[in-house]
Amino acid sequence: MMVAHHISDELLLSYASGNLAEGWSLAVATHLALCPACRHRLFLMEKTAGQLLVDLAPEPAADGSWERMLARIQSAEGTPTSQPVAVSPACDEIPILPDPLRTYLGGDVTSLKWIPLGRGAYHIPIPTMDRKTKARLLRIPAGKPVPEHGHGGRELTVVLTGSFRDGEELFARGDIEEADTSLTHQPIATPEQDCICLAVTDAPLRFSNWLLRLVQPALGI
């Protein structure tokens, strides 16, 4: 199945320029690993930016700039990057979790230890060096809805296996959904299989159910 829901130009441009927080970058890189069309869009953006740099008139370098650049490179060696890079899977073996997400989690879906959220749903928080966002893997039972909720900020959701419906829209493997404070919704996993997604947020969800709001701090969502 072809990817039907692509990343916005705004987010892709921010990713190309290295201006996204690590959690957002992880979501974008995961989508890119599964979406050839968006990888091509990224290539065109980077190519255009490179040409703009080539066309800039040269300016004299400040004294000591070369030495400062070398010092920055040497100090950064061995430091984990905060800009995950999409890696398209090999043709002869296609894991459910593409890199770089699989590397963050230390393995593919079958080797992971899921934490119950209740009502058959599970999650796995994903550790990052980013304090601005929270990333997690979600597993929604086949045919079951996510509790109705709004958003206190932005949320990116990338489907990894299975699919879900949000209103009239179907989101399947590779699709990315961008949500913000204007959206209140209740996605429903399709009945064929559990839906596993990568979800990244920068603010707590706003659940309609008061009981969920009560236990929300304990769940960390």
Question: Which residue segment(s) compose the domain that 60 sits in?
Answer: 1-88+96-221
Give the model confidence (pLDDT) of 114-171 as tens digits. 999 888 899 999 999 988 999 999 999 999 999 899 999 999 999 999 999 999 999 9
Q: Rounded to a whole number, what is the largest CA-CA distance in the chain?
A: 65
The pairing of strands 205-207 and 164-166 is: unpaired
Structure token digits, residue 133: 């966002």
Predicted confidence band of residue 33 (pLDDT cuts 50, 70, 90): very high
Which residue stretches of the chain are H helix?
9-16, 22-34, 36-55, 65-76, 101-105, 210-219
Question: Domains in the chain: how many in total?
Answer: 1
The predicted model gives 11-19 an average pLDDT of 91
* This prediction's pTM: 0.81
216 within 8 A of 207, measured Cβ to Cβ: yes
Question: Residue 91 pLDDT more than 50?
Answer: no
pLDDT of residue 207: 84
Report the CATH number that the domain containing residue 13 is assigned in CATH.
2.60.120.10
